[in-house]
Amino acid sequence: MTNKSSYNSILVYSFAVLAMLFWGLTFIWSKIVFEYYNPIATITIRLLISAVLLFFILLLFFREHLVYPKGKMRLFFMIAFFEPFLYFIGESFGLQRVDASITSVIISTIPVFTAIAGYYYFKERLTRANLFGIFISFIGVLIMLINKDFGVTADPAGILLLLLAVFSTIGYTILIKNTSREYHPVFIIFVQNLIGFFLFLPLFLLFDLDCVIQTKPNFELVSSLFMLAVFGSSLAFIFFIYSIGKIGIAKANVFTNLIPIFTAIGAFIILGEQFTFFKIFGMIIAIGGVYLTQRKKPEKKL
């Protein structure tokens, strides 16, 4: 019984880490696609590819879960409105105005706010070690952003857009927690991405259609779009929803502090960005913080 429990824990945490790996790399893939397409076009095409892929996965492997969510369409619309619609508007346009590293640290504030939301809405309790882990992990991410002059600069408008992404994620996780118990994760992501596609479609047709028609696709563009759709908009969300259902909102969201680490590693490998002492030291601190948030050692709860 213990071995089975340990296996399940490893599986849950592995899915959570993989979700953050995929989301961390989306910052890099998005930067590449933005050299060809505007954010709205990128998001619309990305969601369409993801929705088609997930539909065929449901049809082939989870057909029994491909059902009409009677009486739940309003809920699914709200889920899709928070994420992908509001989230991608905030993240994509914010990413155009703010460096990827600063974008990562703003996104990493999600665990702080979701811990509060999880306590308020679902009475999820965190131990002192868990709360300290959230704090330490966030500090680690901040350290990663320090430059040699001990300063960071960012566009205020970009920061506000990224904060929109942060708070839309909180709304999304609140709505998705109970939904994940009723529907299969693949079905949830399929519906939310399909609705998200139709939400973005009018904006795409109005502003970005001509740009897409005039742009000649190449391997770099097409491969990056597919990476965003398959890993960023499909697998990452499936793994994340599974993790929320098993370990709760607060603990699952703490793993978002790993996103800047994966972004930094990916940028080093793909874009040739250099590691600094602060980046390496910050990674160690952030990983240690994530470990503390998952501790189950009995102690007095707050």
Q: CA-to-CA distance for 142 and 123, rounded, in angstroms?
A: 29
For 234-253, give the DSSP string: IIHHHHHHHHHHHH-HHHHH
Structure confidence at residue 274 (pLDDT): 67
> In this structure, what DSSP letter does residue 37 have?
S
The upper half-sphere exposure of residue 60, i.e. CA atoms within 13 Å in the direction of its Cβ, equals: 6
Q: What is the mean pLDDT of residues 8-29?
A: 88
Residue ranges of alpha helices (H) inside the chain are: 2-33, 39-61, 73-80, 87-97, 100-107, 110-122, 128-144, 156-182, 185-203, 209-214, 219-227, 236-247, 249-254, 259-266, 277-293
Q: CA-to-CA distance for 170 and 110, rounded, in angstroms?
A: 7
* Residue predicted with more confidence, 155 or 259: 259
Q: How many domains does the chain have?
A: 1
Structure confidence at residue 293 (pLDDT): 62
Instruction: Identify the residue whose tokens are 């991608």.
Output: 88
Is 298 contained in some domain? no
Is 6 contained in some domain? no
Residues 6+ apart with CB under 8 A from 84: 43, 47, 192, 193, 196, 200, 233
Looking at the DSSP bridge assignments, the partners of residue 127 are 301
289 and 108 in contact (C-beta within 8 Å)?
A: no
260 and 101 in contact (C-beta within 8 Å)?
A: yes
**What's the residue count for the chain?**
302
Q: Is 127 helix (H, G, I), strand (E, B) or coil?
A: strand
Is 75's pLDDT higher than 60?
Answer: yes
As given in the structure block, the two tokens for residue 280 are 């390496």
231 pLDDT band (50/70/90 cuts)? very high
Cβ neighbour number for residue 7 with a 10 Å cutoff: 10
Distances (CA, A) of 54 to 150, 161, 278: 45, 29, 40
Is 253's pLDDT higher than 90?
Answer: no
Q: Is 154 helix (H, G, I), strand (E, B) or coil?
A: coil
Q: CA-to-CA distance for 249 and 21, rounded, in angstroms?
A: 18
Question: Which of 4, 69, 18 minimizes the C-alpha distance to 240?
Answer: 18
Is 61 contained in some domain? yes
126 pLDDT band (50/70/90 cuts)? low
Is 267 contained in some domain? yes
Over the stretch 197-217, which tens digit does the pLDDT of each residue have?
999 999 999 999 999 999 999
Is 164 contained in some domain? yes
Is 67 contained in some domain? yes
| Percent of the chain with pLDDT strictly greater than 70 | 76
Q: What is the mean pLDDT of the chain?
A: 81
Is 130 contained in some domain? yes
The boundaries of the domain holding residue 56 are 14-293
Is 278 contained in some domain? yes
As given in the structure block, the two tokens for residue 41 are 């076009």
Over the stretch 169-196, which tens digit does the pLDDT of each residue have?
888 877 887 677 788 888 988 999 999 9
Question: Which of 205, 107, 118 minimizes the C-alpha distance to 163?
Answer: 107
